[in-house]
Amino acid sequence: MRAWVFGDNLDTDVLAPGRYMKFGIEEIARHCLESVEPAFVREVRAGDVVVAGRNMGAGSSREQAPAALKHLGVAALVAESYAGLFYRNALNLGLPAVVCAQAAKIRNGDRLEVDAEGGKVKNLTTGETLACEPIPPHLMQMVRDGGLVPHLEKRLRHA
Amino acid sequence: MGQTLAQKLVARAAGRAAVTPGEIVTCKVDLAMMHDSGGPRRVKPMLERLGAKVWDPSKVVVITDHYLPEADDDSRRIVRIARDWVREAGVHAFHDAQGICHVVLPERGHLRPGMFAVGGDSHSPTGGAFAAYMFGIGATEMLGVLVTGEIWLKVPHTIALEFCGRLAPGVAAKDLILFLLGRFGLDGGRYQAVEYRGEAIRALAMQERMTLCNMAAELGAQTGLIASDETTRQFLKLEDMQVWESDADATLLESHSFKADEIPPQVAAPHSPANARAASEFGTVKLDLAYIGACTGAKLEDLRMAAAVLKGKKAKTRLLVAPASLRDQQAAEKEGVMQALVDAGAEVLANSCGICAGYGAYLLPENCVAISSTARNFKGRMGAASSQVYLASPYTVAASAVAGRIEDPRGMLQ
């Protein structure tokens, strides 16, 4: 639930550097964000939240970018806006990504509670509640199922 | 009320007469393209987990381009998965080591105006140059397409970007897109459709149009489109072709018009393609390396531009050239273009994504200052995090290689 705050255009090359793409997600995740925040991989804990400014996830289609965050235990993403491709990838992996116009109010290290379905971020450090755009209903079921693969698994079982 | 080109393409794929921007529709996919990095290697285990088969193997195209040349055991293993998988899945459209997917796909006649296509790579909007609705998706989303043959989409608004007049000599499509990135930033496209229009666009060769649409990705658009015309028909060698274009009275989200002849060569400084300004403003930047490569910077048209500058000259900096496809390289050899590059001191690398994607044996070393005809210069993308990459057109990369520092190419053109 700790907030890790980054700026605008946080790109997929810093999230999942190309030179490690030949490896599995464990190894890629070890290098996640190392060129901008070396402490991140060491100190991130399960349940933490990555907060960014505009156009989070700019760049590549490589879904190892959101997958690395998920692998490290990141529970939700909060950003002013997302690159569309990254947004789809995050939700397809079951990683909730909420759009929050006031994301800039969150400080690095704040304690957050993210309600993706209800569309709010509660800042336990400041006591403030920030309104967000909820995840669209046609996608929420998939996120609840844990992503597109378990969602399809369920669908195919019922077919 | 008329429809935009984007609306018409989405409506056809959704089986509807018309669609409205903002509504969510499900589209039938005409073509799904994958490469070795995000393709079979990723989707095969997921297909197995689901016990599912590819909905229609005749609509799938697989192209190897990332882990080539196979530099180590990991690369060999990854490319091997692609080779084995196409056989198991019954996919016949497999182009192995023929060049970069976005260039090979239209070169081998897979794209047609009017199509709705997805690619497992962010530069898939390249297909939009052929008036096809094509965009990039991740591997899990690709799995969804392979299983269902469908994908959901929020019908995009259209941002029209018009270029009047003609490009000045020594100015290329790369300069236009860098200019747009400097003006609108990495999220200017707002994940909508951008449509390039105007006299300067109509006058562009097909591969130059591909460069513009390719980097709609950097603009943050879902796709970049250009209406089909005689140039499209000739490139695809079609007997006749339906014209796909926006209606004159279609509603646009934004419309911007620029005078093409007033745009000078552009360079984007580290570490963002949006850090673009006129090449003439960078005179003091000394270079260690010049790179002409990638789907957006080493097609036949790009190689011709580089040769137009380099013919009869010598590069002062190390110059690497990775032609974007084998066919383009062969055509460039026939024209004497490759010889001009080699005579200028170019080392010729394989027809693959290579340094642009941060793959292979030529990654930029610590503190390397490079100028590159590629699409992205994010920190550490092409090698060491301390390397500095400037983006520019093949003309400007070539001129800078000769000068040993960033150089406006217009004084060097023959």
ipTM of the complex, rounded to two decimals: 0.95
Contact A152 B74 (CB under 8 A): no
Cα–chain-centroid distance for residue B152?
A: 23
Q: Is the pLDDT of residue B121 over 70?
A: yes
What is the model's pLDDT at position B245? 98
Contact A63 B122 (CB under 8 A): no
CATH of A3-158, one of 3.40.50.720, 3.60.70.12, 3.20.19.10, 3.40.190.10: 3.20.19.10
Contact A92 B140 (CB under 8 A): yes
Q: How far is B241 from chain A (nearest CA, A)?
A: 31
Q: Is the pLDDT of residue B296 over 80?
A: yes
Which of B272, B359, B363 is facing A9, going by the closest CB pair?
A: B272
Task: Select from B239, B258, B277 the last residue of a domain.
Answer: B258
Count the domains in chain B. Answer: 2
Q: Are residues B294 and B180 in the same domain?
A: no
Q: How far is A7 from chain B (nearest CA, A)?
A: 13
Q: Are residues B220 and B272 in the same domain?
A: no
For chain B, counts of helices (H) and of strands (E): 13, 18
Structural domain including B165 reads 5-258
Please state the length of chain A.
Answer: 159
Q: Is the pLDDT of residue B283 over 80?
A: no
State percent of chain A over pLDDT 70.
100
B100 vs B144: CA distance, rounded Å: 24
Q: Is the pLDDT of residue B324 over 70?
A: yes
CATH number at residue B350: 3.30.499.10
DSSP string, B19-35: --TT-EEEEE-SEEEEE
Q: B334-364, pLDDT tens digit by residue?
A: 999 999 999 999 999 999 999 999 999 999 9
Q: Are residues B273 and B369 in the same domain?
A: yes
Q: Are A56 and A23 in contact (CB under 8 A)?
A: no
Contact A13 B49 (CB under 8 A): no
SS3 B359: coil
Q: Are residues B328 and B240 in the same domain?
A: no
Task: Select from B223, B258, B293 the last residue of a domain.
Answer: B258
B94 vs A96: CA distance, rounded Å: 35
Chain A contacts of B50, Cβ < 8 Å? 149, 152-153, 156
Q: Are residues B288 and B350 in the same domain?
A: yes
Instruction: Tell me the residue ranges of DSSP E strands in A12-149.
Output: 49-52, 76-79, 97-99, 112-115, 120-123, 129-131
Which residue is it, tokens 């649409």?
A: B213
pLDDT tens digit at each of 159 positions of chain A: 899 999 999 999 999 999 999 999 999 999 999 999 999 999 999 999 999 999 999 999 999 999 999 999 999 999 999 999 999 999 999 999 999 999 999 999 999 999 999 999 999 999 999 999 989 888 999 999 999 999 999 988 887
B359 to chain A: nearest residue by CA? Answer: A19
> Whole-prediction pTM value?
0.97
Task: Select from B200, B227, B258 the last residue of a domain.
Answer: B258
DSSP string, A33-57: TTTT-THHHHH--TT-EEEE-SSBT
Q: Are residues B13 and B112 in the same domain?
A: yes
Going by pLDDT thresholds of 50, 70 and 90, the confidence category of residue B414 is: low
